[in-house]
Amino acid sequence: MRWANVCRSLSARASACGVESTTLTNTSVERRPPPRSSLTTPNRYVIPQIAKYTRTASSTDFRFSYISLDRTSTPDSILVGEYARDSSARIARFDIDYQTRFLHTGKRKDIWKIGKTSIQGGVVVKGKFYFTKSHGENGKSELLTWNGKSSSDIVSEGAILPPGAEDLSYWGAKDQLWCLAEHPTKRKLYAVKASSF
């Protein structure tokens, strides 16, 4: 399928679901060099934006720092979270419409204040939450687990992740949590077995 056809198809799908659509054309996609001169490999992938969600005046103010997809919930949902250097960070879940695959607009499933600092990523697997907690460029990152009840129930599984651990993703077929480290020249992609924690 040609790029222009892909763009028209994605835009039509978004419009049919009542979601504001962004115009997609060959000219609206551009390659940008990496932000740091030490990274010389050109960008080879494009993720087209097909829609956007606009916060209403009555919405809760929220800083979107990370996102993950939970395919183990019914219906599927996304987890979004805030990064904070104090204990004010929150997470929220939104259900995904089974037919359209867009968010159930206006219906936040849950929101929690998790009371932890420097959370860089999170994912939910079968109701269990996993988070990465950064300790800077030179300190190993922690893996935290949570049962979704009281924030006092969050457990540190130890500083077992490379420095700068960020977003998490779950690969169900292999029972693996995948993570990426953020610091230049130390960017590692790695996986750990979810059921081990």
The tens digit of pLDDT for each residue in 40-70 reads: 556 666 778 877 877 777 777 888 899 999 9
Model-level pTM?
A: 0.75
**Encoding tokens for residue 66?**
């990370």
In the structure, what pLDDT confidence band is assigned to residue 15 with cuts at 50, 70 and 90?
A: very low
Integer Cα distance of 117 and 167 in angstroms: 15
**Comparison of pLDDT for 14 and 166, the residue scoring more:** 166
Integer Cα distance of 197 and 181 in angstroms: 20
Give residue limits of the domains in the chain.
1-52, 56-196
Nearby residues of 50 by Cβ (< 8 Å), 6 or more positions away: 10, 11, 13, 14, 21, 22, 24
Query: Do the beta carbons of residue 106 and residue 152 sit within 8 Å?
Result: no
pLDDT computed for residue 21 by the predictor: 35
Query: Do the beta carbons of residue 162 and residue 141 sit within 8 Å?
Result: yes
Residue with tokens 């990064």: 83
Question: 56-196 belongs to which CATH class?
Answer: mainly beta
What does the DSSP 8-state code read for residue 174?
G
pLDDT computed for residue 147 by the predictor: 92
Please say if the pLDDT value at position 186 is more than 80.
yes
